[in-house]
Chains A and B, each alone.
Chain A
Amino acid sequence: MAVEQAGLGTPDDLSDEEREAVETLLYRLADDELVLGERYTEWQVRAPTLESDLALANIAQDEFGHARLWYDLLQDFGADEADLIYERDPADFRHSTLVELPFEEGDWADAIVRSYLYDVAEDVRLEALAGTSYPRIADRVGKVRSEEEYHQEHAQNWLERLADDEEGRARLQEAIDRLLPYALTLFEGDEIDARIDDLGIRTESLDSMREQWFDIALPFCRSLGLDTPEGIREDPKSFLPEQVGRDGDHTDDWRDLHDEMTHTYRELGRTEAHKIMPDPDETDE
């Protein structure tokens, strides 16, 4: 995937402003994937069937693997994994609040709806990164996208089947009503977004990505007999939840989750995060 335009070059070539824009985008990407993967693992040993357990566990691992690739790009700027995950203040995480909400026991509809809403957004986002001006990102978009395709297909197939019976549809509806506002936070940003767009780090603005997402997700939900709120397209901001995540404002559930995730690291007084795999730059993946 050659980057045609002059491009931003290597991490060392970046000006402070460029670097800030790249970092802003990478934190969102990495944190979204990490926290979503973390939530998905709650279904391990608890999914409806053994086969569905295996599939969702695999999706969780894919998300962690993607997070790993994006965190690795942040490490270009000097931080290590411990700084980025284990020792970072939970208020400095930039993931959307959609991915941090816990699953209620048995709420498989939440898992599927959340996955669908996220995966469609992720596809739109990766599409907008395929032509990025930052070569380090461009190199990694393809392999991430390839795995996300399965995720979307998986969620879509589940939705079609669950929506086919009355109880399933009611549960899906409940999940959509609750999660759609949180899903909108995936398209929230801050003052740096204009720079991200100007620098061509992403080829679509957040607003335009949200439009594309609506174009796909809303008709699909309706085709399954699921309702989506009136006016959400016209005035998405008014549907946003109290915490949007992208600005570091999170639900209490995130603090608890971060606390659990870092429990062992703190208990053992670790100062670094152990690696098993080689650096992504050293493999031909």
Chain B
Amino acid sequence: MIWEVFRQEEAGKYHTHCGNVHAPDREMAKLFAQIQHGRRKPTNSLWVVPKEEIGEVDTDDAAFGGTTDKSYRWVMGYKDLDAAFAQEIADSESEQEAADRQKQAQRGDD
């Protein structure tokens, strides 16, 4: 059976999908994953998850974030207000701007 493998590079970071292994059970999957996905890239932890336990919804099924204007729920909807007075607001703004740029780029690819 197929096990999807998620790697965390260092403590405190997120586990992100990095590949999979064929293995007959969880223990073997962990053994194989260590070698296949943890032997070179920096690894603090691996998760193995049976592929059939993963549910997926993708852009064919869903319009993530909607199709009508939702700028009211973005920092950028209020761009005439200065965010620099507090570092954490400015950070949130730049993170949201980055996410929005990615979304726009993705939409452009469709």
- Report which of A61, A68, A146 forms a contact with B67, defined as CB distance below 8 A: A146
Find out whether the CB atom of A276 lies under 8 angstroms from the CB atom of B77.
yes
The B interface, classified by DSSP as helix, strand, loop or mixed, is loop
User: Which residue from chain A places its CB closest to the CB of B63 in the assembled complex?
Assistant: A146
User: Which residue from chain B places its CB closest to the CB of A283 in the assembled complex?
Assistant: B69
Find out whether the CB atom of A65 lies under 8 angstroms from the CB atom of B70.
yes
A147 touching B69 in the complex, CB below 8 Å, given contacts A276-B78, A277-B77: no
- CA of A74 to CA of B62 in the docked complex: distance in angstroms? 30
- CA of A147 to CA of B67 in the docked complex: distance in angstroms? 7
Shortest CB–CB separation between residue A122 and chain B, in angstroms?
A: 14
Q: Is A169 an interface residue (CB 8 A)?
A: no
Q: Which residues of chain A are within 8 angstroms of B77 by Cβ–Cβ distance?
A: 276-277
Q: Is B66 an interface residue (CB 8 A)?
A: yes
Count A-B pairs with CB separation below 8 Å.
Answer: 41
Segment 92-150 of A: residues with Cβ below 8 Å from B: 142-144, 146-147, 150
- CA of A45 to CA of B71 in the docked complex: distance in angstroms? 23
Q: Which residues of chain A are within 8 angstroms of B62 by Cβ–Cβ distance?
A: 150
Find out whether the CB atom of B68 lies under 8 angstroms from the CB atom of A69.
yes
Find out whether the CB atom of B70 lies under 8 angstroms from the CB atom of A61.
yes
Find out whether the CB atom of A285 lies under 8 angstroms from the CB atom of B69.
yes
Please indicate which of the listed interface residues B69, B70, B71 has the most CB atoms of chain A within 10 Å of its own CB: B69
Q: Which residues of chain B are within 8 angstroms of A285 by Cβ–Cβ distance?
A: 67-69
Q: Which residues of chain A are within 8 angstroms of B63 by Cβ–Cβ distance?
A: 146-147, 150
Q: Is A66 an interface residue (CB 8 A)?
A: yes
Find out whether the CB atom of A147 lies under 8 angstroms from the CB atom of B72.
no
- CA of A54 to CA of B66 in the docked complex: distance in angstroms? 14
Q: What are the interface flags for A257-283 relative to B under an 8 Å C-beta threshold, 1 for contact and 0 otherwise?
A: 000000000000000000011101001
Q: Is A80 an interface residue (CB 8 A)?
A: no
Shortest CB–CB separation between residue A68 and chain B, in angstroms?
A: 8
- CA of A48 to CA of B77 in the docked complex: distance in angstroms? 31
Segment 23-78 of B: residues with Cβ below 8 Å from A: 62-63, 66-73, 77-78
- CA of A276 to CA of B63 in the docked complex: distance in angstroms? 23
- CA of A129 to CA of B68 in the docked complex: distance in angstroms? 17
Q: What are the interface flags for A47-76 relative to B under an 8 Å C-beta threshold, 1 for contact and 0 otherwise?
A: 000000000001001100110110000000
Q: List 17 A-B contacts (CB under 8 A).
A: A61-B70, A61-B73, A65-B66, A68-B68, A69-B68, A143-B67, A144-B68, A146-B67, A147-B66, A147-B68, A276-B71, A277-B71, A277-B72, A277-B77, A278-B69, A278-B71, A285-B68
For the complex with contacts A61-B70, A144-B68, 11 further pairs of A-B residues with Cβ separation under 8 Å are A61-B73, A66-B68, A68-B69, A144-B67, A146-B67, A147-B66, A276-B71, A276-B72, A276-B77, A277-B69, A278-B71
